[in-house]
Amino acid sequence: MKYVDEYRDPQLCRRLVAEIRDTASRCHTIMEVCGGQTHGLLRHGIDRELQGVVELIHGPGCPVCVTPAEDIDFAISLCQRTGVTVVTFGDMLRVPGTSLSFREAQSLGGDVRLVYSPLDAVQLAVSEPDREFVFFAVGFETTTPATALAIQQAARLGLKNFSVLVAHVRVQPAMEAIMESDACRVEGVLAAGHVCAVSGFASYEQFTRRYHVPVVVTGFEPVDLLNGILRCLRQLEAGVAEVENGYERSVQIGGNSQALQIVDDTYEICDKPWRGLGTIPNGGLRLRECWRQFDASRRYSRASLPIVEPVRCRSGDVLTGQIKPTDCEYFGQECTEETPLGAPMVSSEGACAAYARHVRPYI
Amino acid sequence: MLSDEASANCPLPDFGDDERISLAHGEGGRLSRRLLRGMLKPVQNEFLIGLPDGATLPVSSGKLVFSTDSYVITPRSFPGGDIGSLAVFGTANDLAVSGARPRWLSLGLIIEEGFSTHELGQMIASIARAVRVAGMQVVTGDTKVVPRGAADGLFINSAGIGELVLPLPGPDTLSQGDRLLVTGKIGQHGLAVLAARESLGFDPAPESDMTALWPAVEALHAAGIRVKAMRDATRGGVAGILHEWADACDKTMLLESGSIPVSKTVRGACELLGLDPLHVACEGTMVVAVPSEEVSDALRVLRTVEVSNEAVEIGSVSEKRMAPVAVRRSLGQLVPLDEPSGAPLPRIC
């Protein structure tokens, strides 16, 4: 299959592994930003193949994992109201809130529907005009344009029964927060290819200058990942720190200008609490004033929500690369895919889920 | 998929002028009888004449295999099949992979008040076609109508009886070196249903592989192949079965990712949705375990039968490792294959 097979070619993979071994004079620590990359690395056994050559630490790029419990609790409370349906992505269904997950709320009579695209949520609102639909908008720069499009579509259709609970987050401010931390061990960064496909990578120029770490925009297939690691290593060995595009087939330096425009028309940047990481300056998006009629956080009251209790989940340490999921004392014990303590164990991009699926049997 | 031959000469049920099923259709009076008469016509056989309370079946000298399953699928129709044909093939294949020739079927229909008689007629016709393909007879049945909201349109329970022809040693007897085969491309059914349910609009739309597996089992039996275990890869897909087998024999199932047969359509859709075809359900494809010395004969025999003409070897049974099921991926690394946990969910990005 085109665009798949050539990036999983076993011979090319082995050549890249050999080249990586030849290039590294010592073991370097590289952070892959996106949970999709984490799953790719583990699924293909790249982390084990490169043991002792490169230490891969897993970044914050799992939007479901970083969504604060307050937002999840609020969304769950909405689906339990009479006449209100919450629409979201499948990843969200099993994520534990303070007292319930969506799936549990659903079995108690809450109305939760899953979609593949925010535009499907608009379609639901059109087809059932007597119900109110709230789209729970979670995701990085990859999903914000689609939500923006849904809001504009709802406006064009004059929908009164559609709103969006925005929990969108921005990846670069979170990376900056990680780099600022005293415990940071990151020597090089594999930037998330699909985020850069939307937002470009010009803004990483300043990032590399400030933190002196190489950044390679990297895709998700084994050849992409190995190539990103190799290019990062070459810079580290040469003592340089620049931005490189290792995902040329999808990413241009300026990103997707049409998508960026619609995002800018719809949202403004705001400080945002991230689950496990605290409030990150400029770390999120909120709807602009002119779209307030579609803002679920204005339309519905947050009163009488459960008080968020501190959880034992060490998602913050995992999402900032301080610990590997397997270093967490709860991993595989109290916290499993069936009984998760936190989102990283159940999200399709969660690092703990990746370890539970692809690594645990080997430890 | 049903052949044209099977769909020919199949009388459609006649429900008179009733457009919708009402509670009265289930209350035992004139309407009930009319409904029943309409439904019976396409599946009529000697056991149903006079509508006795129970079917009297001729017992062979050997053993019987008995299996039941309930069908509540949404949507009721999808490319390659519907809830009616599923209720037949699902149960027929459970018998077939138990080594039994499928013979007799019971059908229990739970119909929601307001259900269209036209659609019911289509489902009965589909059942009748599938029953012919599977070589079975409907010998007893039941219909209930429940108030609106108490069921989702139409639920079907079917139970089947088959004659044991090929007794299987079972997955607990699998030993190191045994080989694992699949009889065709995997993941077709699950993807077809998912795409139809979520209106995913793939072009071409993936089509269910639903059909009767008995001819493949019969061919293996006729050729004297020593089959150790067989399972149709329904919910949980191939991965689900291999996890069960690994558990049963306390060994590890090793797969070669390059040898797993997946159609272009299913592969593309799975890539897009972030699913692994090994986790996606089949309805006309089974996993077969044979001793290594039987592999080439088993493959040759399977390929002579239409339902299994794309049979291939996908892996083998190895000594127990840390992971119960592992796949060799592109780097040559063995990577654990996880057990499916619930239905595949749409991903965020």
Per residue in B219-260, pLDDT (tens digit) is 999 999 999 999 999 989 999 999 999 999 999 999 998 899
What's the pLDDT score for residue B6? 46
Give which of B11, B105, B89 is closest to B55, Cα–Cα: B105
- Report which of residues B296 and A356 the model is more confident about: B296
Beta strand spans in A260-319 (E): 267-274, 278-287
Contact B347 A194 (CB under 8 A): no
**pLDDT, averaged across chain A:** 93
Share of chain A above pLDDT 70, in %: 98
Q: Tokens for A124? A: 């639901």
Contact status of B336 with chain A (Cβ, < 8 Å): yes
Place of tokens 């190799």: A230
Chain A residues closer than 8 Å to B323 by CB:
361-362
Q: Which residues pair with B345 in a beta bridge?
A: none
Chain B residues closer than 8 Å to A349 by CB:
348-349
The answer for B 190-229 residues in CB contact with A (under 8 A) is: 198, 200
pTM value is 0.87
pLDDT tier, B99 (very low <50, low <70, confident <90, very high otherwise): very high
pLDDT tier, B15 (very low <50, low <70, confident <90, very high otherwise): confident
What's the pLDDT score for residue B1? 46
Q: Chains A and B: how many Cβ contacts under 8 Å?
A: 95
Per residue in A4-53, pLDDT (tens digit) is 889 999 899 999 999 999 999 999 999 999 999 999 999 898 998 999 99
Q: Tokens for B231? A: 């399972």
Give domain B4-164's CATH superfamily. Answer: PurM-like, N-terminal domain (3.30.1330.10)
Per residue in A140-182, pLDDT (tens digit) is 999 999 999 999 999 999 999 999 999 999 999 999 999 999 8
**Cα dihedral A156/A162/A163/A164 (nearest 10):** -90
Query: What's the one-letter identity of residue A14?
Result: R
Chain A residues closer than 8 Å to B348 by CB:
63-64, 89-92, 138-139, 143, 347-349
What's the pLDDT score for residue A168? 97
Instruction: For domain B171-336, give the CATH number.
Output: 3.90.650.10
Nearest chain A residue to B265, by CA: A1
- Neighbouring residues of A324: CB distance < 8 A, sequence distance ≥ 6: A57, A58, A318, A351, A355
Give which of B311, B314, B312, B338 is closest to B324, Cα–Cα: B338
Most confident of A43-47, B6-10, B93-97: B93-97
One-character DSSP codes across A303-335? TTPPPPPPPS--HHHHHTTSS-GGGSTTBTTTB
pLDDT tier, B150 (very low <50, low <70, confident <90, very high otherwise): very high
**pLDDT, averaged across chain B:** 91
The domain locations on chain B are: 4-164, 171-336
Q: How close is the nearest chain A Cα to the Cα of B332, in Å? A: 7
Please state, in angstroms and rounded to a whole number, the distance separating the CA atoms of residues A270 and A77: 24
Q: How close is the nearest chain A Cα to the Cα of B315, in Å? A: 18
Q: How close is the nearest chain B Cα to the Cα of A139, in Å? A: 7
Lowest pLDDT segment from A241-245, A333-337, B2-6, B99-103: B2-6
One-character DSSP codes across B272-304? HHT--GGGS--SS-EEEEE-GGGHHHHHHHHTT
One-character DSSP codes across B69-138? EEE--SSSEETTEEHHHHHHHHHHHHHHTTTEEEEEEEEEEEEETT-BHHHHHHHHHHHHHHHHHHT-EE
Please state, in angstroms and rounded to a whole number, the distance separating the CA atoms of residues A180 and B192: 49
- Do the domains spanning B4-164 and B171-336 agree at the CATH topology level? no
The shortest CB-CB distance from B330 to any of A13, A89, A363 is to: A13
Chain B residues closer than 8 Å to A4 by CB:
267, 271
All structural domains of chain A, each given as residue ranges with its CATH number in brackets, are 68-168+256-299 (3.40.50.11740)
- Neighbouring residues of A290: CB distance < 8 A, sequence distance ≥ 6: none
Contact B331 A222 (CB under 8 A): yes
Chain A residues closer than 8 Å to B336 by CB:
357-362
Q: Tokens for A315? A: 């998602």
What's the pLDDT score for residue B5? 46
Buried b (16+ CB within 10 A) or exposed e, B215-241: bbbbbbbeeebebbbbbbbbebbbbbb
Please state, in angstroms and rounded to a whole number, the distance separating the CA atoms of residues B109 and B124: 10
What letter does residue B263 receive in the DSSP assignment? -
Per residue in A90-121, pLDDT (tens digit) is 889 989 888 899 999 999 999 999 888 899 99
- Report which of residues A120 and A359 the model is more confident about: A120
What's the pLDDT score for residue B10? 60
Burial bucket for residue A37 (CB in 10 Å: 0-12, 13-18, 19+): buried
* Cβ-contact B303, B309 below 8 angstroms: yes
pLDDT tier, B72 (very low <50, low <70, confident <90, very high otherwise): very high
Model-level ipTM above the cut of 0.85 = no
Pick the residue of B74, B242, B334, B348 with the most A CBs within 10 A to test the interface with A by mutation. B348
